[in-house]
Structure 1
Amino acid sequence: MALLIILGSLAILLLVIGLLLNIGVKKDNDGQGHVTYPKGYWLVRGIALGILLGVPLGIVLGIATGNIGLGIALGPAMGLALGSAIGSVLERKHKENLRPLTEEEKRAQRILVVFTISLLVLGVTALFTMFYLFGMM
Protein backbone atom coordinates (compact mmCIF):
# COMPACT_ATOMS: atom_id res chain seq x y z
CA MET A 1 0.00 0.00 0.00
CA ALA A 2 2.79 2.43 0.91
CA LEU A 3 4.62 1.65 -2.33
CA LEU A 4 1.43 2.37 -4.27
CA ILE A 5 1.05 5.74 -2.55
CA ILE A 6 4.67 6.66 -3.29
CA LEU A 7 4.42 5.61 -6.94
CA GLY A 8 1.13 7.48 -7.38
CA SER A 9 2.60 10.61 -5.82
CA LEU A 10 5.64 10.43 -8.08
CA ALA A 11 3.45 9.93 -11.15
CA ILE A 12 1.35 12.98 -10.29
CA LEU A 13 4.51 14.99 -9.57
CA LEU A 14 6.02 14.05 -12.95
CA LEU A 15 2.77 14.95 -14.71
CA VAL A 16 2.67 18.37 -13.04
CA ILE A 17 6.33 19.01 -13.88
CA GLY A 18 5.73 18.06 -17.50
CA LEU A 19 2.78 20.43 -17.73
CA LEU A 20 4.67 23.27 -16.08
CA LEU A 21 7.67 22.95 -18.39
CA ASN A 22 5.32 23.67 -21.31
CA ILE A 23 4.38 27.07 -19.92
CA GLY A 24 5.24 29.67 -22.52
CA VAL A 25 6.19 33.31 -22.37
CA LYS A 26 3.48 35.89 -23.00
CA LYS A 27 2.79 36.31 -26.69
CA ASP A 28 3.70 39.51 -28.54
CA ASN A 29 0.10 40.07 -29.62
CA ASP A 30 -1.18 41.09 -26.17
CA GLY A 31 -0.22 44.73 -26.71
CA GLN A 32 2.91 44.67 -24.53
CA GLY A 33 5.45 44.05 -27.26
CA HIS A 34 8.46 41.84 -26.53
CA VAL A 35 8.39 40.74 -22.88
CA THR A 36 11.70 40.45 -21.02
CA TYR A 37 12.43 39.08 -17.58
CA PRO A 38 15.36 39.75 -15.25
CA LYS A 39 18.09 37.14 -15.15
CA GLY A 40 17.25 34.47 -12.55
CA TYR A 41 13.49 35.05 -12.81
CA TRP A 42 12.70 31.56 -14.07
CA LEU A 43 15.15 29.94 -11.65
CA VAL A 44 13.41 31.53 -8.66
CA ARG A 45 10.00 30.51 -9.96
CA GLY A 46 11.24 26.94 -10.45
CA ILE A 47 12.64 26.77 -6.91
CA ALA A 48 9.38 28.09 -5.47
CA LEU A 49 7.43 25.53 -7.47
CA GLY A 50 9.79 22.75 -6.43
CA ILE A 51 9.44 23.53 -2.74
CA LEU A 52 5.68 23.77 -3.18
CA LEU A 53 5.67 20.26 -4.66
CA GLY A 54 8.39 18.87 -2.39
CA VAL A 55 6.72 19.55 0.96
CA PRO A 56 3.61 17.42 0.29
CA LEU A 57 5.79 14.73 -1.31
CA GLY A 58 7.95 14.67 1.83
CA ILE A 59 4.90 14.35 4.04
CA VAL A 60 3.58 11.48 1.92
CA LEU A 61 6.98 9.77 2.09
CA GLY A 62 7.07 10.35 5.85
CA ILE A 63 3.64 8.80 6.31
CA ALA A 64 4.53 5.89 4.04
CA THR A 65 7.76 5.13 5.92
CA GLY A 66 6.27 5.76 9.36
CA ASN A 67 8.69 8.60 10.15
CA ILE A 68 6.86 11.85 9.50
CA GLY A 69 9.69 13.95 10.93
CA LEU A 70 12.10 12.60 8.35
CA GLY A 71 9.55 13.26 5.61
CA ILE A 72 9.02 16.85 6.75
CA ALA A 73 12.78 17.38 6.85
CA LEU A 74 13.50 15.81 3.47
CA GLY A 75 10.52 17.26 1.60
CA PRO A 76 11.80 20.84 1.23
CA ALA A 77 15.30 19.57 0.44
CA MET A 78 13.96 17.34 -2.34
CA GLY A 79 11.77 20.21 -3.52
CA LEU A 80 14.73 22.59 -3.62
CA ALA A 81 16.74 20.18 -5.76
CA LEU A 82 13.77 19.49 -8.03
CA GLY A 83 12.94 23.19 -8.28
CA SER A 84 16.51 24.11 -9.18
CA ALA A 85 16.41 21.62 -12.03
CA ILE A 86 13.04 22.94 -13.23
CA GLY A 87 14.24 26.54 -12.94
CA SER A 88 17.42 25.94 -14.89
CA VAL A 89 15.45 24.24 -17.68
CA LEU A 90 13.06 27.20 -17.80
CA GLU A 91 15.99 29.67 -17.79
CA ARG A 92 17.50 27.89 -20.81
CA LYS A 93 14.11 27.72 -22.52
CA HIS A 94 13.55 31.48 -22.15
CA LYS A 95 17.14 32.70 -22.56
CA GLU A 96 16.18 35.05 -25.40
CA ASN A 97 13.74 36.86 -23.09
CA LEU A 98 16.22 37.49 -20.24
CA ARG A 99 17.85 40.81 -19.47
CA PRO A 100 20.58 41.75 -16.98
CA LEU A 101 19.49 43.02 -13.58
CA THR A 102 19.28 46.77 -13.14
CA GLU A 103 21.10 48.49 -10.28
CA GLU A 104 17.79 48.95 -8.44
CA GLU A 105 17.01 45.23 -8.75
CA LYS A 106 20.50 44.28 -7.56
CA ARG A 107 20.11 46.57 -4.54
CA ALA A 108 16.69 45.15 -3.71
CA GLN A 109 18.04 41.62 -4.07
CA ARG A 110 20.91 42.31 -1.65
CA ILE A 111 18.52 43.84 0.89
CA LEU A 112 16.20 40.85 0.60
CA VAL A 113 19.06 38.38 1.10
CA VAL A 114 20.30 40.22 4.22
CA PHE A 115 16.75 40.43 5.59
CA THR A 116 16.08 36.73 4.94
CA ILE A 117 19.33 35.57 6.54
CA SER A 118 18.72 37.83 9.56
CA LEU A 119 15.19 36.50 9.96
CA LEU A 120 16.46 32.92 9.69
CA VAL A 121 19.14 33.47 12.35
CA LEU A 122 16.62 35.17 14.63
CA GLY A 123 14.12 32.34 14.18
CA VAL A 124 16.67 29.60 14.86
CA THR A 125 17.93 31.47 17.93
CA ALA A 126 14.39 31.86 19.27
CA LEU A 127 13.66 28.18 18.61
CA PHE A 128 16.75 26.98 20.45
CA THR A 129 16.05 29.39 23.31
CA MET A 130 12.53 28.01 23.67
CA PHE A 131 13.83 24.43 23.68
CA TYR A 132 16.44 25.36 26.27
CA LEU A 133 13.95 27.13 28.55
CA PHE A 134 11.34 24.37 28.26
CA GLY A 135 14.06 21.80 28.94
CA MET A 136 14.88 23.49 32.25
CA MET A 137 11.26 23.19 33.49
Structure 2
Amino acid sequence: MAFLLILGLFAVLVLIAVILLGIGVKNNSDTDQGSVMYPKGYWLGRGIALGLLLGVPLGLGAGILTGNLGLGIALGPVFGIGFGSAIGSILEKKHKNNIRELTDEEKRLQRTLLVFTISFLILGVTVLFALFYLYSRM
Protein backbone atom coordinates (compact mmCIF):
# COMPACT_ATOMS: atom_id res chain seq x y z
CA MET A 1 0.00 0.00 0.00
CA ALA A 2 2.87 2.37 0.78
CA PHE A 3 4.39 1.69 -2.63
CA LEU A 4 1.11 2.65 -4.30
CA LEU A 5 0.99 5.92 -2.38
CA ILE A 6 4.58 6.71 -3.36
CA LEU A 7 3.79 5.88 -6.98
CA GLY A 8 0.71 8.09 -6.93
CA LEU A 9 2.65 10.95 -5.36
CA PHE A 10 5.35 10.59 -8.01
CA ALA A 11 2.73 10.68 -10.79
CA VAL A 12 1.14 13.81 -9.32
CA LEU A 13 4.54 15.53 -9.02
CA VAL A 14 5.40 14.67 -12.62
CA LEU A 15 2.03 15.99 -13.79
CA ILE A 16 2.53 19.25 -11.90
CA ALA A 17 6.03 19.60 -13.37
CA VAL A 18 4.70 19.05 -16.89
CA ILE A 19 1.94 21.61 -16.39
CA LEU A 20 4.35 24.20 -15.00
CA LEU A 21 6.83 23.50 -17.79
CA GLY A 22 4.06 23.87 -20.35
CA ILE A 23 2.97 27.20 -18.87
CA GLY A 24 6.57 28.45 -18.88
CA VAL A 25 7.17 27.35 -22.45
CA LYS A 26 3.89 28.92 -23.58
CA ASN A 27 4.77 32.25 -21.94
CA ASN A 28 8.26 32.23 -23.47
CA SER A 29 6.99 31.30 -26.92
CA ASP A 30 4.42 34.10 -26.88
CA THR A 31 7.02 36.77 -26.12
CA ASP A 32 10.10 35.50 -27.97
CA GLN A 33 8.80 34.09 -31.23
CA GLY A 34 6.00 35.35 -33.41
CA SER A 35 5.22 32.35 -35.58
CA VAL A 36 7.26 29.18 -35.29
CA MET A 37 6.76 26.46 -37.89
CA TYR A 38 6.70 22.89 -36.56
CA PRO A 39 7.21 19.78 -38.70
CA LYS A 40 4.20 17.60 -39.41
CA GLY A 41 3.68 15.12 -36.57
CA TYR A 42 5.51 17.26 -33.99
CA TRP A 43 2.48 17.76 -31.75
CA LEU A 44 1.37 14.15 -32.16
CA GLY A 45 4.76 13.01 -30.85
CA ARG A 46 4.49 15.39 -27.91
CA GLY A 47 1.03 14.05 -27.09
CA ILE A 48 2.17 10.43 -27.24
CA ALA A 49 5.13 11.22 -24.97
CA LEU A 50 2.81 12.89 -22.46
CA GLY A 51 0.38 9.97 -22.64
CA LEU A 52 3.15 7.46 -21.98
CA LEU A 53 4.40 9.58 -19.10
CA LEU A 54 0.98 9.33 -17.48
CA GLY A 55 -0.01 5.84 -18.66
CA VAL A 56 2.94 3.83 -17.39
CA PRO A 57 2.65 4.83 -13.69
CA LEU A 58 -1.14 4.51 -13.82
CA GLY A 59 -0.79 1.04 -15.34
CA LEU A 60 1.65 0.03 -12.63
CA GLY A 61 -0.72 1.35 -9.99
CA ALA A 62 -3.64 -0.53 -11.53
CA GLY A 63 -1.54 -3.69 -11.69
CA ILE A 64 -0.63 -3.40 -8.02
CA LEU A 65 -4.25 -2.73 -7.03
CA THR A 66 -5.58 -5.72 -8.97
CA GLY A 67 -2.73 -7.98 -7.88
CA ASN A 68 -1.80 -8.66 -11.51
CA LEU A 69 1.31 -6.59 -12.14
CA GLY A 70 1.82 -8.04 -15.63
CA LEU A 71 -1.58 -6.81 -16.74
CA GLY A 72 -0.83 -3.33 -15.41
CA ILE A 73 2.55 -3.24 -17.13
CA ALA A 74 0.93 -4.33 -20.39
CA LEU A 75 -2.10 -2.04 -20.32
CA GLY A 76 -0.49 1.13 -18.94
CA PRO A 77 1.52 2.03 -22.05
CA VAL A 78 -1.35 0.99 -24.33
CA PHE A 79 -3.81 3.32 -22.64
CA GLY A 80 -1.11 6.00 -22.45
CA ILE A 81 -0.40 5.84 -26.18
CA GLY A 82 -4.12 5.92 -26.97
CA PHE A 83 -4.74 8.88 -24.69
CA GLY A 84 -1.60 10.63 -25.94
CA SER A 85 -2.56 10.14 -29.58
CA ALA A 86 -5.88 11.85 -28.90
CA ILE A 87 -4.11 14.74 -27.17
CA GLY A 88 -1.55 15.00 -29.98
CA SER A 89 -4.24 14.99 -32.65
CA ILE A 90 -6.06 17.81 -30.89
CA LEU A 91 -2.80 19.79 -30.61
CA GLU A 92 -2.04 19.19 -34.31
CA LYS A 93 -5.45 20.62 -35.24
CA LYS A 94 -4.98 23.54 -32.85
CA HIS A 95 -1.62 24.47 -34.42
CA LYS A 96 -2.52 23.65 -38.03
CA ASN A 97 -1.45 27.11 -39.21
CA ASN A 98 2.08 26.59 -37.81
CA ILE A 99 2.74 23.14 -39.30
CA ARG A 100 5.08 22.65 -42.24
CA GLU A 101 5.70 19.61 -44.39
CA LEU A 102 8.73 17.44 -43.65
CA THR A 103 11.92 18.23 -45.53
CA ASP A 104 13.57 15.57 -47.69
CA GLU A 105 16.22 15.00 -45.01
CA GLU A 106 13.55 14.54 -42.32
CA LYS A 107 11.63 12.10 -44.53
CA ARG A 108 14.80 10.08 -45.16
CA LEU A 109 15.61 10.00 -41.44
CA GLN A 110 12.04 8.93 -40.64
CA ARG A 111 12.23 6.03 -43.13
CA THR A 112 15.62 4.96 -41.78
CA LEU A 113 14.36 4.96 -38.18
CA LEU A 114 11.26 3.01 -39.23
CA VAL A 115 13.37 0.30 -40.89
CA PHE A 116 15.69 0.21 -37.85
CA THR A 117 12.76 -0.10 -35.44
CA ILE A 118 11.02 -2.84 -37.42
CA SER A 119 14.31 -4.75 -37.71
CA PHE A 120 14.81 -4.71 -33.94
CA LEU A 121 11.18 -5.69 -33.39
CA ILE A 122 11.59 -8.72 -35.67
CA LEU A 123 14.87 -9.61 -33.97
CA GLY A 124 13.30 -9.34 -30.51
CA VAL A 125 10.30 -11.49 -31.42
CA THR A 126 12.60 -14.10 -33.00
CA VAL A 127 14.80 -14.26 -29.89
CA LEU A 128 11.71 -14.48 -27.67
CA PHE A 129 10.29 -17.40 -29.64
CA ALA A 130 13.69 -19.10 -29.71
CA LEU A 131 13.95 -18.81 -25.92
CA PHE A 132 10.44 -20.20 -25.47
CA TYR A 133 11.29 -23.09 -27.78
CA LEU A 134 14.55 -23.87 -25.98
CA TYR A 135 12.99 -23.73 -22.51
CA SER A 136 10.07 -25.91 -23.58
CA ARG A 137 12.50 -28.64 -24.69
CA MET A 138 14.18 -28.84 -21.28
> 1:26 & 1:124 partners in 2: Cα distance?
44
Hey, which of these two has a bigger chunk of helix by percent? 2
Q: Does 1:134 align with 2:135?
A: yes
Measured after TM superposition, the shift of residue 55 of structure 1 is 1.2
Q: Structure 1 60/54 Cα, relative in aligned 2: closer, same or farther at 3 Å?
A: same
Amino-acid identity (%): 65
Q: Does 1:27 align with 2:9?
A: no
Given that 1:54 and 1:79 are in contact with CA atoms closer than 8 Å, whether structure 2 keeps it comes out as yes
Q: Does 1:95 align with 2:74?
A: no
Measured after TM superposition, the shift of residue 136 of structure 1 is 1.8
SS in 1 for 2:102: coil
Deviations 1:110-136 (A, max 9, x none): 111111111111111111211221222
SS in 2 for 1:35: coil
Q: How does 1:1-137 map to 2 (within 5 A)?
A: 12=12, 19=19, 24=26, 27=29, 29-30=31-32, 34-137=35-138
Aligned residues: 130
Q: Structure 1 26/119 Cα, relative in aligned 2: closer, same or farther at 3 Å?
A: farther
SS in 2 for 1:101: coil
> 1:28 & 1:70 partners in 2: Cα distance?
43
> 2:127 & 2:78 partners in 1: Cα distance?
23
Given that 1:28 and 1:35 are in contact with CA atoms closer than 8 Å, whether structure 2 keeps it comes out as no
| TM-score (structure 2 length as normaliser) | 0.77
Q: Give unpaired runs (5+ residues) of structure 1.
A: none
Deviations 1:38-89 (A, max 9, x none): 0110101111221122111111001101111111111111011011011112
Runs of 4+ in 1 over 6 A off after TM superposition: none
One-letter amino acid of the counterpart of residue 124, structure 1: V
Given that 1:43 and 1:91 are in contact with CA atoms closer than 8 Å, whether structure 2 keeps it comes out as yes
| TM-score (structure 1 length as normaliser) | 0.78
SS in 1 for 2:26: coil
Measured after TM superposition, the shift of residue 96 of structure 1 is 2.1
